Structure 1
Amino acid sequence: MDLNILLVVAALHAVVLIVPGPDVLLVSQTALARTRRAALLAGLGVVLGISVWASLALLGIGLLFEAFPWVHGVIRVAGGLYLLWMGYSLWRSSARPDTQAAPVQAPLSDLAALRAGFLTNIANPKAAVFFGSVFSGVLGTDAGSGVKLAAFGIIVGLSLGWFALVALGMSTASMQGAYLRARRGVDRVAGSLMLGFGTLLLASRE
């Protein structure tokens, strides 16, 4: 039944959203080190990236990967390099004196925050794999346009809700105060995780 398919789509995407990854790490770190507005815009950028992947999945990106495997390889390498750059930037930020970090890091423009979120998601080949195989597989080739549109709405709605929750929760005064007291350690952990994600992507053969 169509309802069962949509419930499976919702459950699978909820799990993918909640499991920590580059997207959640970016929005969380932006909320702690920047501003709530910047974090919300970074989250919106991530959702825009998710929307692109979901749209491509509905248009048959899985078939593209099967016909041209090198396309996925290009995405993997580009994504890995981007995450390595982000990890390096966080480590470089952690080296600045604490007097340069109050109350938070340098202001981030709306466009820069939106772009960071979008690029973090769109450069993640794991998103391509999920939407190109799992998402497409659950919907099936016989799904009608109504079911596809509903599935797209569920994906976008859940993503908006989750990243808004992360941005709002991590940008409270108490959370930002705790971040300022441990800024260098937090930035280095976040940077190390980004470097790890990037390295894993570059080393992956999938």
Structure 2
Amino acid sequence: MSQTLLTGAFLAALFYVLIPGPAFLALLGIGAGQGRKAGALFMMGHLIGDLLWSSLALVAIVGARTVGTTVFDILGVFCGLYLAWIGWSALNAKPRAPGQALMVVERPLQRGLIFGVTNPKGYPVALATFTALLAGSADALELETLPMLLGVSLVGFLVADAILIAIIGARIVRQFYRAHERLIVRLSGVLFMGFAVQALWHAAPGLLGWRKP
């Protein structure tokens, strides 16, 4: 298996967790109000949802690739457009009302589990992110590579979780986020737009007949 493919799976899992979204904001709220321990429990529960959606996404991507490059390219275009929509929404998001009170979560582990498994955006975001970052190594995607990709993705999730848990309890991080939340959301939108360009860049040539055999 190529190093590029493994790196793509690792980065897809890493960015899937680190890019600000509903789970990121929930974690920040819990960590800001209840500390790192509560945040860590939330992430432990949420990891189940991360593994579930990423597994389904990788199965869909590998399955599409084994069926044919055209199916994979169509999937890439769909995911690119979806990522562009997410990015555009983030770039145009309105700031939340100031002074909102933080809710105390009594069972952060259970909250994280429910949040991760029931998140309706978990699968399409995982599918879009993994498609964008694995598209460059599409020729190496086979059913035999699936276990290794899942293993590397798990490492990416754990690294991302460790990074978030390490920083959420710091006062300076909470203050910085509150002061620059709008900018952070805008930057995440730019990153999503970049992933969209990546996905479309690899998918469009195949559908237009520009890809060399």
Q: TM-score if structure 2 supplies the norm length?
A: 0.56
- The match for 1:54 among 53, 58, 64 is 58
CA distance in 2, matches of 1:79, 1:123: 14
| Matching residue's letter, 1:143 | E
Residue aligning to 1:88: 95
TM-aligned CA deviation for residue 194 of structure 1: 1.4
Task: State whether structure 2 residue 30 is matched by structure 1 residue 10.
Answer: no
Label 1:199 to 1:144 Cα distance change in 2 as closer, same or farther (>3 A). Answer: closer
CA distance in 2, matches of 1:120, 1:25: 13
Query: How many angstroms apart in 2 are the aligned matches of 1:142 and 1:18?
Result: 20
Counterpart for residue 85 of structure 2 = 77
Question: Could you tell me which residue of structure 2 aligns to residue 33 of structure 1?
Answer: 32
Contact 1:179 1:186 in 2 (8 A): yes
Relative to 1, partners in 2 of residues 1:60 and 1:26: Cα closer, same or farther, differing over 3 Å? Answer: farther
Once the 2 structures are TM-superposed, how far is the Cα of residue 121 of structure 1 from its aligned partner?
A: 5.4
Task: Write out per-residue CA displacement over residues 97-125 of structure 1, whole angstroms, 9 at most, x where no aligned residue.
Answer: 8xx5xxxx21247566453795665454x
Q: Distance in 1 between matches of 2:190 and 2:166?
A: 29
Q: CA deviation at 1:18?
A: 6.6
1:49 and 1:119 in contact (8 A); partners too: no
Counting aligned pairs with the same residue, the percent is 12
1:52/1:30 CA distance change after superposition, 3 Å: farther
Give the deviation of 1:58 after TM superposition.
1.7
Q: Which amino acid aligns with 2:159?
A: W
The residue number in structure 2 matching 1:162 is 159
Between Structure 1 and Structure 2, how many residues are aligned? 181
- 2 CA distance for matches of 1:82 and 1:112? 25
Equivalent-residue separation in structure 1 for 2:88 and 2:72 (angstroms)? 18
Q: Structure 1 73/18 Cα, relative in aligned 2: closer, same or farther at 3 Å?
A: closer
**C-alpha deviation, 1:30, in angstroms:** 4.3
CA distance in 2 between partners of 1:136 and 1:200 (Å): 17
- Contact 2:42 2:112 (C-alpha < 8 Å) held by counterparts: yes
TM-score, normalized by length of structure 1? Answer: 0.58
Distance 1:48 1:34, change over 3 A: farther
Alignment gaps of 5+ in structure 2: 201-213
CA contact (8 A) 2:80 2:132 kept: no
Counterpart mapping for 1:104-115 below 5 A: 105-108=102-105, 110=108, 113-114=112-113, 115=115
In 1, the alpha carbon distance for the partners of 2:86 and 2:141 equals: 33
